[in-house]
Structure 1
């Protein structure tokens, strides 16, 4: 029996590629460039499955043009906002993702961003790096203390809970909003808020960990930023579409936000050029899951889903 053929449109970890080639006929984009809609459609006639990242866009228009040969899209990501799920399902294409395996790595980045934003890391790095550090006083580089502060989390899924665990090490008072309240074992003493509006006024620090959906697009808008305490710190490691970036800039201008830490943006790659000269925005280029351990785990989880599908089982992460 011929081995299924899969397309890997981005350069995944070496361990993932080695395992994939041992099991499947593979078409691998070794140059790691982006693929257009036409590229995706053309490849769908040549393969049985695809392991895409969030950089490959499966819109309704693309889904309508996919070749019937393609049977499964095993995403190398947790988020699937790059996939029009109803359109793909209507074509009989299975879609999976990779939950569980990147929670800690992403939570680490959220902690880095929160600390860096609160303690003015961008400004401090510039001063030392450029030789401009020639002064000290008790009022120099005073930031916002994390230890003991109130942390608001929107989205208490795997990543949100992993971030809360790490924040407890700083003695933070954790409040959260989630579509459903967690059980007491998962809450671990966190305070549940039954609406975003009831969470925001108590959040000295606010971190987003919810998925990007049509309902959550622009979730943090001017009205909601205005409900935060003055001088709050805002962190986003989820998706850029959750945030009205103009409203966030406005909140930074007025002092409603003292700082922001961002790993994702409305436009990627590239980010928002209006952020570039603002030292109270600590930014990273969407690297929340970028550790060797996590990249291997994500690749293996995608391959586990492919293996299950092609042997006739229901993949563990079928959406």
Structure 2
């Protein structure tokens, strides 16, 4: 019998050819509706492989009864939606899609920074609401980006790509990371500093760190208090890195100047979310890697991660092979 693969969201059929060649494939046939938890649990009872998205929780509840499951392939660079430790204890390989989305996500991160700094969404609404009656010198005046200081928290592949873009704007580049990136320091001119130093010195604080137990709510009341009152905070990583009530208070009280947010603690958010209601916030719906080219590449890598493992080959990108002794 062929292995059985379940896909948790509608993916273009032309990208799944390799899966159909090696397995029986079932796909949740709704592009914009998450697979219900009861359906997912039922599918995992018989699946040999799971093609999942970052919005799918794959934790103890979902993994209670999955006797045949050999591989979970997440169509994302992050995998905080998966209980990797539990999966490893069950002998399940967890895969992801690094590299292919690096530049696309960096583009979006810098676009979010620019849009927030120059108040682009506000300006768009100003015209669409028919409020533009005359020109004035400080009409929707924003903040310069060039020659300012950017502080990047999380200097992984995406962080380095953002730093390269910042260099093109003649920005002073600071970064904080678990380890020094000496090559990036030499090539880009980035300067390593402590988290506290970065917060105190940066005009733009950009969060690109992974969500881990150590980084959960890293940006709390104290962190925002340490920033300049003119600072703009950008989060294109995970919402869980931010204590949202603390960010809301910092924005309402003028502790920091503004925020550009691609991610939130609970997603999706509604228009009534208090952060969305603030004029100094640019909020977008977790679209960091959302270009057709990159999403196609991510889907293809996810397919290859599954097919390679089912064929007895090493996946392109897996996060727990060492722990599994593979």
Q: Could you say which TM-score interval applies, normalised by the shorter chain?
A: over 0.9
Tell whether the 8 Å contact from 2:301 to 2:316 is kept in structure 1 after alignment.
Answer: no
Tell whether the 8 Å contact from 1:113 to 1:235 is kept in structure 2 after alignment.
Answer: yes
Distance 1:60 1:196 in 2: 33
In structure 2, what is the equivalent of residue 273 of structure 1? Answer: 273
Tell whether the 8 Å contact from 1:235 to 1:261 is kept in structure 2 after alignment.
Answer: yes
Distance 1:122 1:203 in 2: 23
Misfit runs of 4+, over 6 Å: none
Aligned: 1:306 with 2:298:
no
Tell whether the 8 Å contact from 1:12 to 1:295 is kept in structure 2 after alignment.
Answer: no
The secondary structure found in structure 2 opposite 1:207 is: strand
Tell whether the 8 Å contact from 1:13 to 1:295 is kept in structure 2 after alignment.
Answer: no
In structure 2, what is the equivalent of residue 106 of structure 1? Answer: 105
In structure 2, what is the equivalent of residue 293 of structure 1? Answer: 293
Unaligned regions of 5+ residues in structure 1, if any? none
In structure 2, what is the equivalent of residue 31 of structure 1? Answer: 30
Tell whether the 8 Å contact from 1:59 to 1:82 is kept in structure 2 after alignment.
Answer: yes
In structure 2, what is the equivalent of residue 284 of structure 1? Answer: 284
Distance 2:185 2:12 in 1: 32
Deviation at 1:120, TM superposition (A): 1.2
Deviation at 1:85, TM superposition (A): 0.9
The secondary structure found in structure 2 opposite 1:132 is: coil
In structure 2, what is the equivalent of residue 238 of structure 1? Answer: 237
Tell whether the 8 Å contact from 1:6 to 1:25 is kept in structure 2 after alignment.
Answer: yes
In structure 1, what is the equivalent of residue 87 of structure 2? Answer: 88
Distance 2:296 2:14 in 1: 6
Tell whether the 8 Å contact from 1:6 to 1:48 is kept in structure 2 after alignment.
Answer: yes
In structure 2, what is the equivalent of residue 199 of structure 1? Answer: 198
The secondary structure found in structure 2 opposite 1:274 is: coil
In structure 1, what is the equivalent of residue 47 of structure 2? Answer: 47
Correspondence 1:118-157 to 2 at 5 A: 118-157=117-156
Deviation at 1:83, TM superposition (A): 0.6
In structure 2, what is the equivalent of residue 169 of structure 1? Answer: 168
Aligned residues: 316
Tell whether the 8 Å contact from 1:122 to 1:279 is kept in structure 2 after alignment.
Answer: no
Deviation at 1:27, TM superposition (A): 0.3
Q: TM-score, with normalisation over the residues of structure 1?
A: 0.94
Distance 2:202 2:15 in 1: 40
Distance 2:93 2:36 in 1: 21
Deviation at 1:285, TM superposition (A): 0.5
Deviation at 1:185, TM superposition (A): 4.6
Aligned: 1:58 with 2:58:
yes
In structure 2, what is the equivalent of residue 262 of structure 1? Answer: 261
In structure 2, what is the equivalent of residue 179 of structure 1? Answer: 178
Q: TM-score, with normalisation over the residues of structure 2?
A: 0.92
Distance 2:14 2:221 in 1: 44
Tell whether the 8 Å contact from 1:204 to 1:229 is kept in structure 2 after alignment.
Answer: yes
Deviations 1:250-278 (A, max 9, x none): 11122222111110001101257112321
Tell whether the 8 Å contact from 2:109 to 2:236 is kept in structure 1 after alignment.
Answer: yes
Distance 1:13 1:274 in 2: 36
In structure 1, what is the equivalent of residue 324 of structure 2? Answer: none
Deviation at 1:282, TM superposition (A): 0.6
Distance 1:220 1:23 in 2: 45
RMSD value, Cα: 1.6
Tell whether the 8 Å contact from 2:160 to 2:184 is kept in structure 1 after alignment.
Answer: no
Unaligned regions of 5+ residues in structure 2, if any? 320-326
The secondary structure found in structure 2 opposite 1:275 is: coil
Distance 1:293 1:300 in 2: 11
Deviation at 1:122, TM superposition (A): 2.3
In structure 2, what is the equivalent of residue 97 of structure 1? Answer: 96
Distance 1:252 1:276 in 2: 11
